[in-house]
Amino acid sequence: MIVRESLEKRKPITRTLIARATDGETMLFPQAAQIARINRQRTDKAPETVSLITSCPEKELSAEQWLEENINHRGIETGLHARLDASRNDDRCRLRNDKPLRLHGIFTRIANSICCEWIAKQKKPKNHTTTDFIAHMGEEHDRRTIALITSKKPKIG
């Protein structure tokens, strides 16, 4: 367990990171090597808990380094994480039991894979976002979503 106290916007914040080794089979993430939980306590806000997963083993990323990376956001905010966090509010997920949380994670990542495929097929992929994909699939009372799920040969486009 690593505890770090600092100032953020002139207000005290305490971060506590607890990490442990894991494997891909247990986590249903093929490359998973470590999991962690960070508790953030600010004086003017409710406590916040965030769960983390990485493919880096402890010899490459110690708990101290992981906490520092999380604080500085270097290497943490990848394109996939931005899609999960910002567009799908993954950090705000209220699921707490293992099975529903795993199912949510699996289906969210499948949806993100389909989203990435859809974005890549657009005329100007850099101008499209996960929000655009969600809106596209939801048009006409989710017609495209239902067609994708029920089709024997799904067409993404």
Please give the full DSSP string across 78-123, using - where no structure is assigned.
-HHHHIIIIIT-GGG----SHHHHHHHHHHHHHHHHHHHHHHHTSS
Q: What is residue 155's predicted lDDT score, i.e. its pLDDT?
A: 78
Of the three residues 41, 76, 111, the one that is the final residue of a domain is 76
> pLDDT tens per residue, the chain (157 residues)?
999 998 877 889 999 999 999 998 888 878 889 999 999 998 888 999 988 888 899 999 999 999 988 887 644 445 566 666 666 666 677 777 878 878 887 888 888 888 888 999 999 988 888 889 989 999 999 998 898 889 888 877 6
Of the three residues 46, 76, 106, the one that is the final residue of a domain is 76
Determine how many CB atoms are found less than 10 A away from the CB of residue 114. Answer: 16
Q: What is residue 91's predicted lDDT score, i.e. its pLDDT?
A: 67
> Counting Cβ atoms within 10 Å, is residue 66 exposed (0-12), middle (13-18) or buried (19+)?
buried
Q: How far apart are CA 148 and CA 82, in angstroms?
A: 24
Q: Which helix (DSSP H) or strand (DSSP E) does residue 2 occupy?
A: strand 2-8
Residue 146 DSSP SS3: helix
The number of folded domains in the chain is: 2
My answer on whether 7 and 69 are in the same domain is yes
Q: What is residue 116's predicted lDDT score, i.e. its pLDDT?
A: 86
Q: What is residue 86's predicted lDDT score, i.e. its pLDDT?
A: 63
Of the three residues 76, 98, 120, the one that is the final residue of a domain is 76
